[in-house]
Structures are given as C-alpha cells and as structure tokens.
Chain A
Amino acid sequence: MKIRFLYLLPVFMVACTKFQPAAPADDQVLDGPLDGLTAEQRLQFLRGDVAFNNEVFTKETGLGPLFVSTSCGSCHAGDGKGHPFTTLTRFGQVDETGNRFLQAGGPQLQHRAIQGYQPEQLPAGAAFSRFTPPANTGLGLLDAVPDSLILALADPQDTDGDGISGVPNWIVPKNYVRPRVGGILRNGRAIGRFGKKAATYDLLQQTAVAYNEDIGITSVYEPTDTYSGEESDPEIATQKISDIVFYLRTLKAPVQREANSTQIKEGREIFITAKCAGCHRPELRTGYSPVSSLSYVTFQPYTDLLLHDMGNELNDGYTEGSAKAPEWRTPPLWGLGLSRNSQGGKYYLLHDGRAASIDQAINLHGGEASRSRNNYRALSPTEKQKLLNFLESL
C-alpha cells in the first residue's frame, strides 16, 4: 500500500479553511470593532467582548439574589436589540419630581430570583413601563457627540413651527461619572443621552447600573445590593467594568445595506420629506474623543438624542430624570433592519416591543410625531414600501 497520501496532509491542512462556514458580511451583523483601533485597544475590546458576551453569573460569582438576567449578552444577543424575555420593568416615577418608590425597590423590578428567594413584586399603585433592551452598536459615537450639538438641536419652544420641540433630559449625574470634554451643566444637572428616557449620562453609568439592577452585581460604582439595600463588597472588578465600557464604546456603527440602490435612495428622500428626520436626524458629528477612531467623525445614527413628547399613544405614565411621562428619547434607527436577527426572527419595536413591524411602530407615533405619522399614512403604497425598504436597509 502506497503511503504517498501522507504527502497530501499539509495540503489538506492548508485547504481546510476553505471548507469552513464563511463569516457573514459586515453589513449583516452588528458586532465587531470600529476601524482604526490600535493593537492595545483591540486587546481591551476583546477583553470586554468576552466579559460582555461570554460571562454568565452564578450565585457564586454574585448573581442576584434578585435579577433580571444572568449575563450582559443574554439581553443583547449579537449586540442587537432585546426580546420580551429580557424586557425590563421600570417603575415608581410619574413626573420630573423624582421616583417615589426607591424604598420599595424602584426604579427597576427584579422579577427573577435565585432558588430560595422570592422575586420582587410590582408595588401597588406604582406607575411602570417596560423597556426592551436596545442594540449596543455605535454607542461610542453617540457618547462622543458634544453636549453643545445636542443643545443646538433642541427647540423647546418650537420656534421653527414644525411641531417638533426636542429637549434634553437634564439629570443629576452620578458621583462617579466623568464629565465629558465640553460637558454642559445647568443647576448641577447634566445632559443625559442613553436609555429610553435619556436618563443615563454615559456608558460607565449604563454599565454599572445594568450590572447592579439587571444582574444583581455590586461594584465600586454601584455598591448597594438590590435585595438587602445594603452596601456590599464589589462583586466585579473595576477593570472588567472598564473593559466592558471600552467594548461598548468601540463597537462599530451598523453598516447600511444597499445604500446606493435607487429604491433605498428614494426611500430616504421620502423619509426626509415626511419630516421623520425632524427627530431621527440622519447625521451627527462627534467632538474630541481620546479614542481617535471616535474623534470628529460624521455618522448616521438617525437620532437627535433629545426627548420628544410622543403623545398619549406611547405614554405609560412612567418617566425618569427630568423627562415628562409622554417624552421619549429619539431612538437611533441605525441597525433597525437587523433587529430581527437578535429578536428571534421577529420585530419587537418601540420602547416596550409592542410594535410587531416597522409600519405598526410608525402608526403608534403620536404627539410631536403626529405630523410625520400622518405624512406617512398619506403616502401611496409604493412610497410607503420605499420608505420601509429604506428603514430596513439601516
């Protein structure tokens, strides 16, 4: 028996990569780092990626006792939007005067518990709202938008008469957040930009609070245990939080698909003429960032990071920070077409996932968005489809 086939072994080893599943196209996935990171930054991105997507907490590593989820990744599959399974319930605040249920477990309901413990129940009489976890992509770009630009987009008195009067959410910043370069304060309050109500200042606050309120993990930033209400030793290393913040900051922005197709371009024009872009601003620009890939970049998030009154249709009677109950931060539309990839193949849109399609989500707009919604309803079926195709391409 000839054994010449052994000479083929190295060829086989080289060729075997050809027989493996290929990577999905860059515009089909939300995860992945920004271009232009240094090797050092890529290492930190990888550490944050592992902590975010792979680390599942257990009793021994600090889970709970009350919690919503056991890991960061379980709420943001593939860094995309969440699913009703991981939807958060926030409660206790009806207006800008503050949360009256902090002593009763507010502002977040931990509706799951490790064995032997009873989960929280929604207190009687507490206003509440359900929040679907958002996608993570492009957060660093949003974080690097200067406060001055957000303020410039605001139009509290609707001086231009377009029916849209966006306002920032002025929040009391946590004592551990680091004021951004050029950050603007008014009466000790800063501009929030993350979360459904824009009640979160930056990605450090977002991360530390999510660990604490979603998973039951205490840290040097959020040392209070959600079950006992007492301070405890940190259950997560500060370095790991830094890695995750860096990971979130340097996740790439979603890549639009078929951006050059005529249909998509026409859909974009309809989006603008229907005044959707009045709140879903197609372009923003970052200011200075210590991460050079984030500095002075023009990007297309389709948000203005401002609060808008969305009318009774979307008013749950609950709010955060200085936002009024019917006010919601304009959610970025980038990545919208990939939402189903992380939502089990379906759409769960708007703040609580109540809309099962983009069309339904538009039709549920009210308040400041009424005019745009009516413009959408007045479109011909072909125009509507072009607009929907454009939104799907984001």
Chain B
Amino acid sequence: MFTGIRTALAQIDSTLLRRSFRDSSGLKLNMDATYDRPFLSLGKLPVSLGGYAEANYQHLGTDGVSEGHQFQMRRFTLFVASTVYDRIKFLSEVEFEDGAKEINIEFAALDLELHPLVNLRGGIVLNPIGSFNQNHDGPKWEFIDRPVSATEMLPATWSNAGFGLYGKAYRRDWIFAYEAYLTNGFNDFIINNPSGRTSLAAAKLNPDRFEESYNGMPLFTLKTAVKKQRLAEIGVSYMGGIYNKFQDDGLTLDKKRRVDVFALDMNTILAKWGTALNAEWAWVQIDVAPTYTQQYGRRQQGGFLDIVQPVFRGTIAGLPRSVINLALRAEYVDWNVGRFRETGDPIGDHLWALTPGISWRPGPQTVFRLNYKIVRQTDLLGNSPSRTGGFQLGISSYF
C-alpha cells in the first residue's frame, strides 16, 4: 500500500525541544503546530519550556456606542515539553486568559511513536478540526482577534480528553498526514446557552468535560492533510458525535442527537510575490428537536481568508530581521442557515468582517500589529446589521 512512499517523522524531532524550532525539512503541516513552537531548555533540566503572551489596546464602537479605551492582556500561555524516551514525548499547554479569569489546560498529551505512520497520543488533545484549532498561537498571526468562525463556531481552542493516532508520510514533494481521535464530546449547552444561538463554543461551559463524558458517547475527529511543497497544504477534517443527554440512570430521555462538522483548510505562499494565503471554511450540522425554537440554528457555516503580503524586509530600530507585512482578513459566519417556518424568509443571524492591518515582525517570534476592524452583524430576523468598527494595536510574542 505504501510502496514508494517514505515515512516522515510525524513526531517532532527530539532535538527541537532543546532549542531549535525551525522547520528545515519543509515537511511541517498545521498538525505539527502543537510542537512547532520555540522551546528553551535550562541546563540539564529534562524539560523544555516555552510560552507566549498577547496584549493589546483597542477602541471599538458599535453604532456609536463604545467601551472606550481598552487595554487587555488576553493570553499568557505556558508550554512544558519533555522527551521521556527517544520516542515518547510529553507536551502541555496551559493558558491564562484575560488575566486569570480563565485558566485552561489546552493540551497535555503523551505521544508514543510506534511507527512514523502510527503514533499514539493520549491525554488532553486539540481536536484537529480545521486548521486554526491546532495552529492558534497568537504570534503566528497578523491579527489581534482570532477568526470568529474558528473560535465561536468550531470552536477553537477546542480540546478534550481522549486518545488517538496520527502519522505522516511523504513522497518526493508530496506530504500526507492523518489524525484520528476519540475524545469526550459536546453537550446540551450547544443549543441551551445564554448566547441565544447554537454555539459549539458553549460546550466549554461544562466544567466537568475533562473529567467525564456528558453522555457516554465519544466524539470522533478525523483529519487528513496533503501538502505539495512550494505549492499548498490542503486539509479536510470531520468531527462528529452525539451531543445530548439521551439517557440518564438507565432511563431514556430523548433520541440521540448528533452534531457533525466538516472543514476545509488551505494555506500557501505565492512564490512570485511572497504572499501568504491562509483559509478555512466549515459546515456545522446539528440535530435539534423540531419543537425547539428556530433561534437555535440547525446548520451553520463560515470561515476566513487571511492574506499577508510582506512589503519590507530589513533593519528596523536596529533589528536586522524585521519584516513589515500588510494584511487583510475577510470573515463570514452564518449562525443559522435556513428559513423561518412562519414566513419562508431566510433566517438572519450572520456576520461578516473585514480586518485590514499592518504588522511589524522584528523577528519571527514576535509581532506588533495594528488592525482596523469592520464588522456587520445581522440579527436573527434579518434587520439592518449593527456596525462595529475601530482600531486595535497589540503585541504578541513567544518567549
């Protein structure tokens, strides 16, 4: 089956945990983002440390109403990685959001390489749906806000306790990878939440989700990605399972109701201009009882496209590896695809956004960003959209 195909190291090389983090092989995919981070080793300590922080200033307003000048420390994330044995590694990512308002273990998994195509991963894993969920570190992006579709629809960062397999192979310029996990899954919060719309992200309101499955049914996540070097990487992913508590204490409460998510992602660099393109689009389907309000959508879709154009490389403020980028993000999310039963008219509840920006990277691990955000949010009934706009200025850096 794999005749003529050579295996690549799906796990990151152990040495990368010492100091190097650069991808010299060109074999990196979005799935490698978890380990594709700068780590520092201290003396003979058996662990490598790393992390990143994000802070920003913003002044946004919606229809003439503004919260004024806001200074925010959005994230402070710590990584701890260790090579237990040559082919057994552990990595954890602990994130403090908005000060210490939220403290999350986003990733904490042990990896065992049985074969480059068969690696076992267990612990708290990032479900590989789309690309952003695994590749979410702030310093990698030219935009202060995370994509709405990726964070509020999919919902990055989305991690769960579970196990799975992953592997990677290549042949000449082609790289192929897969990931497959069984984890704990969603819960009723996705259609029973204070945001008033179907929200996969609301599943994170369940504080017990790392401790026990809500309904005893696993969530299956599968991703395959293919990359042609110097051309593009394309990922196809699926995540699905039963989300509702259909039985309790042996008693049937409801039929089993599924949530299914499909996602496509793509990234490339146009060689001629050095323009980086990064896109993700996802479709969500939720089995909601017909007797429940249509306010909670049965289908959702959305995605984003980032265009980043380097316009200057050289020395700025004595930093010789500086790069200035112009960037543009286009986003769209339809929280409720469908039509009202009462009128046959399309249900609203959608959003589009454009974020032009400029960034200065004094080095690859640090980015200063200036964004202008334009958002139009249409309500459920399809009334004239609310208009949000304003500047954001921020810094994000690995350390």
Is B212 close to A, CB under 8 A?
A: no
| B57-65, B231-239, B271-279 - the one binding chain A | B57-65
Closest approach, in angstroms, between the C-beta of B193 and any C-beta of chain A?
A: 6
Chain A residues positioned under 8 Å from B208 (CB to CB): none
Other-chain residue from B195, B292, B317 in contact with A3 (beta carbon distance below 8 A): B317
Q: Could you tell me if B383 and A21 are in contact, using CB atoms closer than 8 angstroms?
A: no
> When A13-B69, A78-B383, A341-B384 are in contact, do A22 and B64 touch as well, CB less than 8 Å?
yes
The 7 closest A-B pairs by CB, nearest first: A23-B64, A20-B61, A21-B387, A56-B196, A84-B342, A344-B381, A344-B382
Could you list 14 A-B pairs, sorted by A, with CB under 8 Å? A1-B316, A13-B59, A17-B66, A19-B391, A20-B66, A21-B389, A60-B192, A70-B196, A83-B342, A84-B343, A113-B289, A113-B292, A344-B343, A344-B345
Docked pose: A20 CA to B381 CA in angstroms:
25
Other-chain residue from A3, A24, A85, A342 in contact with B383 (beta carbon distance below 8 A): A342
Chain B residues positioned under 8 Å from A84 (CB to CB): 340, 342-343
Q: Could you tell me if B192 and A83 are in contact, using CB atoms closer than 8 angstroms?
A: no
Looking at A13, A21, A23, which has the most chain B CB atoms within 10 Å of its CB? A21
Other-chain residue from B66, B192, B315, B340 in contact with A59 (beta carbon distance below 8 A): B192
Looking at A69, A113, A114, A115, which has the most chain B CB atoms within 10 Å of its CB? A115
Q: Could you tell me if B372 and A19 are in contact, using CB atoms closer than 8 angstroms?
A: yes
Is B225 close to A, CB under 8 A?
A: no
Which residue in chain A gives the minimum CB-CB distance to B381?
A: A344
Closest approach, in angstroms, between the C-beta of B215 and any C-beta of chain A?
A: 12
Is B218 close to A, CB under 8 A?
A: no
Other-chain residue from A22, A61, A115 in contact with B292 (beta carbon distance below 8 A): A115
Is B250 close to A, CB under 8 A?
A: no
Other-chain residue from A21, A67, A112 in contact with B61 (beta carbon distance below 8 A): A21
Docked pose: A67 CA to B291 CA in angstroms:
10
> When A16-B391, A17-B66, A24-B64 are in contact, do A119 and B195 touch as well, CB less than 8 Å?
no
Chain A residues positioned under 8 Å from B365 (CB to CB): none
Q: Could you tell me if A56 and B317 are in contact, using CB atoms closer than 8 angstroms?
A: no
Other-chain residue from B60, B61, B191, B381 in contact with A115 (beta carbon distance below 8 A): B191
Contact size range, A: 35 or more
Docked pose: A342 CA to B348 CA in angstroms:
12
Mostly, the B contact residues are loop
Closest approach, in angstroms, between the C-beta of B393 and any C-beta of chain A?
A: 8
Looking at B317, B318, B343, which has the most chain A CB atoms within 10 Å of its CB? B343
Q: Could you tell me if B348 and A344 are in contact, using CB atoms closer than 8 angstroms?
A: yes
Which residue in chain B gives the minimum CB-CB distance to A342?
A: B383
Other-chain residue from A16, A56, A59, A70 in contact with B390 (beta carbon distance below 8 A): A16
Is A369 close to B, CB under 8 A?
A: no
Closest approach, in angstroms, between the C-beta of B68 and any C-beta of chain A?
A: 9
Other-chain residue from A1, A21, A83, A115 in contact with B63 (beta carbon distance below 8 A): A21
Instruction: List residues 182-200 of chain B with CB under 8 A from any CB of chain A.
Output: 188, 191-196
The contact string, 1 if C-beta is below 8 Å from chain B, for chain A 340-373, is: 0111111000000000000000000000000000
Docked pose: A117 CA to B291 CA in angstroms:
8
> When A24-B63, A56-B194, A341-B383 are in contact, do A70 and B254 touch as well, CB less than 8 Å?
no
Is B117 close to A, CB under 8 A?
A: no
Closest approach, in angstroms, between the C-beta of B89 and any C-beta of chain A?
A: 40
The contact string, 1 if C-beta is below 8 Å from chain A, for chain B 269-294, is: 00000000000000000001101111
Is A218 close to B, CB under 8 A?
A: no
Is B100 close to A, CB under 8 A?
A: no
Closest approach, in angstroms, between the C-beta of B275 and any C-beta of chain A?
A: 25
Chain A residues proximal to chain B, CB less than 8 Å: 1, 3, 12-13, 16-17, 19-24, 55-56, 58-61, 63, 67, 69-71, 74, 77-78, 83-85, 87, 112-119, 341-346
Which residue in chain B gives the minimum CB-CB distance to A61?
A: B194
Docked pose: A63 CA to B194 CA in angstroms:
11
Chain B residues positioned under 8 Å from A13 (CB to CB): 57, 59, 69
> When A19-B372, A87-B342 are in contact, do A74 and B254 touch as well, CB less than 8 Å?
no
Docked pose: A206 CA to B295 CA in angstroms:
23
Docked pose: A24 CA to B343 CA in angstroms:
28
> When A19-B390, A56-B195 are in contact, do A1 and B343 touch as well, CB less than 8 Å?
no
Is B30 close to A, CB under 8 A?
A: no
Chain B residues positioned under 8 Å from A63 (CB to CB): 192
Other-chain residue from B193, B195, B380, B388 in contact with A74 (beta carbon distance below 8 A): B380
Known contacts A21-B61, A85-B343, A343-B383; 18 further A-B pairs (Cβ under 8 A): A3-B317, A17-B59, A19-B372, A19-B390, A22-B64, A23-B63, A56-B195, A58-B194, A70-B293, A71-B196, A77-B383, A83-B342, A113-B289, A114-B192, A114-B292, A116-B253, A342-B383, A344-B343
Contact size range, B: 35 or more
Closest approach, in angstroms, between the C-beta of B305 and any C-beta of chain A?
A: 23
Chain B residues positioned under 8 Å from A341 (CB to CB): 383-384
Chain A residues positioned under 8 Å from B291 (CB to CB): 112-113, 117-119
Which residue in chain A gives the minimum CB-CB distance to B202?
A: A58
Instruction: List residues 113-171 of chain B with CB under 8 A from any CB of chain A.
Output: none
Docked pose: A222 CA to B381 CA in angstroms:
30
Chain B residues positioned under 8 Å from A77 (CB to CB): 379-381, 383
Q: Could you tell me if A21 and B254 are in contact, using CB atoms closer than 8 angstroms?
A: no
Which residue in chain A gives the minimum CB-CB distance to B314?
A: A1
Q: Could you tell me if A115 and B188 are in contact, using CB atoms closer than 8 angstroms?
A: yes
Docked pose: A67 CA to B380 CA in angstroms:
18
Closest approach, in angstroms, between the C-beta of B358 and any C-beta of chain A?
A: 12
Q: Could you tell me if A115 and B244 are in contact, using CB atoms closer than 8 angstroms?
A: yes
Chain A residues positioned under 8 Å from B191 (CB to CB): 115
Docked pose: A16 CA to B192 CA in angstroms:
38
Chain B residues positioned under 8 Å from A116 (CB to CB): 253-254
Docked pose: A19 CA to B384 CA in angstroms:
20
Which residue in chain A gives the minimum CB-CB distance to B196?
A: A56
Closest approach, in angstroms, between the C-beta of B22 and any C-beta of chain A?
A: 26
Chain B residues positioned under 8 Å from A69 (CB to CB): 293, 295
> When A13-B69, A56-B195, A344-B345 are in contact, do A19 and B389 touch as well, CB less than 8 Å?
yes
Docked pose: A13 CA to B59 CA in angstroms:
8
Chain A residues positioned under 8 Å from B194 (CB to CB): 55-56, 58, 61
Docked pose: A24 CA to B64 CA in angstroms:
7
Q: Could you tell me if A58 and B293 are in contact, using CB atoms closer than 8 angstroms?
A: no
> When A1-B318, A84-B340 are in contact, do A112 and B389 touch as well, CB less than 8 Å?
no
Closest approach, in angstroms, between the C-beta of A351 and any C-beta of chain B?
A: 15
Other-chain residue from B254, B288, B340 in contact with A85 (beta carbon distance below 8 A): B340
